[in-house]
Amino acid sequence: MEPTGRIVFATVGVTNFGFDVFSAAVPLPPMEEDAERRHTDVRGGRLYFVSAHEQPPAPFRSWAAPVRSPVSSLRMLRVYGTFPSFSPDAAHLAMNGDFFKTPGVTILRSDGAKRWVLTREPNLFYTSWSPAESGVIFTSMGPIFETTKATVRIARLEFDAGELTTGRDEVAATLKVLTRPEAGNDAFPAVSPCGKWVVFRSGRSGHKNLYIVDAAHGEDVGAGEGTIRRLTDGEWIDTMPSWSPDGSLIAFSSNRHDPTNAAVFSIYLVRPDGSGLRRVHVAGPAGSAAADRERINHVCFSPDSRWLLFTANFGGVMAEPISAPNQFQPYGDLYVCRLDGSGLVRLTCNAYENGTPAWGPASSPAAGLESLSLGPGAGDESLGEFDEPLWLTCDV
């Protein structure tokens, strides 16, 4: 079955984070199944596009701006935010701000016509909307890009989804912390399809591994309600898990095949009970030089649980980053493949880091990008802040 749906992802732009939304209802190109083509990168395939992230002219409202695609069947919308996730019916998107100045979690109607502030607390990153509860979003609370022992906690935001109406700009939410402050760096929650469990990455052992916690009560085991258990264990990095929509698998990125090298990551799959752990070889077969150089992260599943979407370094670094020298990962483009690593297709090709994607179901035209609002937005304007080209200067 060919995958369909809608993909939302973050792109690190010239100034600050922004993210594009595009509809992926076009069937992916058919792939040959012979051994020589099993790992072929379909560069510039039918879903190829270049997302425009040049500095917008003021007063550009970047959360509701259409972006032109050379593929007529793709619809894109540029918005200002990070770490997007879909609501259960794909009618809304949850997202974070820039971690410092803008609201911690906001909700955007998927046609770009309306935005609501859920919480203004700025130190929140990552969102995971519960598939089973329309009024529950999980996030990480604390500093981003920190050590294993930094205090970062998993939090649950509860709100009334019925209050997402045109007459409101803010929706009241209750924040409940699920993990202990002394546990260390707990981040990147992903909810099970039933909504009862959350898998997340934790540094509580001194290494970043995966744990599963009660989605409602957290790890409050002293009260007799909460529960937590370890999913992976080792002196390596397991991070950014994603729970498959059918509930059978958890995908994550890890350098466990080369623990001393923090620059290589590959996709791994494991069952929620900890069994069946296996690596998904995408760039090449097991033991190949190409597989050993994989840097894959931000993995998630298609709505039918048969495909993986992720960001990777397979395209290399192009010449364009010379005009945008402050990119964290100028090689980061989006790809999809099957669960066995076959059928690799490249989705993006540009000078910016495209990452943290979410793959939602195809929604009705009434809630999708086909009804894109072109009127003035009510969200945050682009900050218009520049940094000097750091890697073009040196002391001699």
- Only one residue has tokens 């264990």, namely 233
Tokens of 67: 């972006």
How many CB atoms sit inside 10 A of residue 131's CB?
18
Paired strand residues for 155:
139, 177
Residue 294 near residue 310, CB atoms below 8 Å: no
Confidence category of residue 97, pLDDT binned at 50, 70, 90: confident
Which residues does 272 contact at the CB level (< 8 Å), separation at least 6? 192, 197, 199, 212, 231, 243, 247, 248, 249, 250
Q: Which percentage of the chain shows pLDDT scores above 90?
A: 49
Question: Which long-range contacts link 146-149 to residues 24+ away (Cβ below 8 Å)?
Answer: 146/185, 147/185, 147/203, 148/184, 148/185, 148/203, 148/204, 148/206, 148/207, 148/208, 149/184, 149/185, 149/203, 149/206
pLDDT in tens, 63-72: 445 555 555 5
- Poorest-pLDDT segment among 34-38, 94-98, 102-106, 123-127: 34-38
pLDDT of residue 185: 95
- Only one residue has tokens 């879909």, namely 86
Tokens of 309: 């979407």
Is pLDDT of 378 > 50?
A: no
Confidence category of residue 346, pLDDT binned at 50, 70, 90: confident
Q: Print burial letters for 202-211: b (CB count within 10 Å at least 16), e (below 16).
A: bbbeebbbbb
Cα separation, 107 vs 98, in Å, equals 15
pLDDT of residue 1: 61
Residue 214 near residue 197, CB atoms below 8 Å: yes
Residue 61: HSE in the Cβ half-sphere, 13 Å Cα cutoff: 14
Is pLDDT of 12 > 50?
A: yes
Range with top average pLDDT, 22-26, 264-268, 374-378: 264-268
Is pLDDT of 323 > 90?
A: no
Residue 126 near residue 154, CB atoms below 8 Å: no
pLDDT of residue 81: 80
- Poorest-pLDDT segment among 94-103, 149-158, 185-194, 332-341: 94-103
Across the beta sheet with 333-338, the strand order is 296-301, 307-312, 333-338, 345-346
Q: Averaged over 357-382, what is the pLDDT? A: 55
pLDDT of residue 366: 40
pLDDT of residue 267: 98
pLDDT of residue 74: 58
Confidence category of residue 38, pLDDT binned at 50, 70, 90: very low
- Per DSSP, helices labelled H in the chain are 289-292
Cα separation, 226 vs 209, in Å, equals 20
Could you give the C-alpha distances from 349 to 50, 63, 330, 346, in angstroms and in order? 6, 22, 10, 8
Q: Averaged over 191-207, what is the pLDDT? A: 96
Cα separation, 16 vs 55, in Å, equals 10
Tokens of 8: 């939302």
What is the number of residues in the chain? 396
Q: Averaged over 236-242, what is the pLDDT? A: 97
Confidence category of residue 99, pLDDT binned at 50, 70, 90: confident
pLDDT of residue 13: 55
- Poorest-pLDDT segment among 116-130, 238-252, 353-367: 353-367
Q: Averaged over 287-292, what is the pLDDT? A: 90
- Per DSSP, helices labelled H in 250-362 are 289-292
What amino acid is encoded at 54 in this protein?
A: E
Structural domains of the chain in order of their starting residue, each with its CATH number: 6-30+38-374 (2.120.10.30)
Confidence category of residue 332, pLDDT binned at 50, 70, 90: confident
Query: 52: closest CA among 76, 72, 30?
Result: 76
pLDDT of residue 350: 73
pLDDT of residue 66: 57
Confidence category of residue 241, pLDDT binned at 50, 70, 90: very high
pLDDT in tens, 202-224: 999 999 999 999 999 999 766 55
Tokens of 341: 């690593």
Q: Averaged over 19-33, what is the pLDDT? A: 46
pLDDT of residue 34: 36
pLDDT, mean over the chain: 77
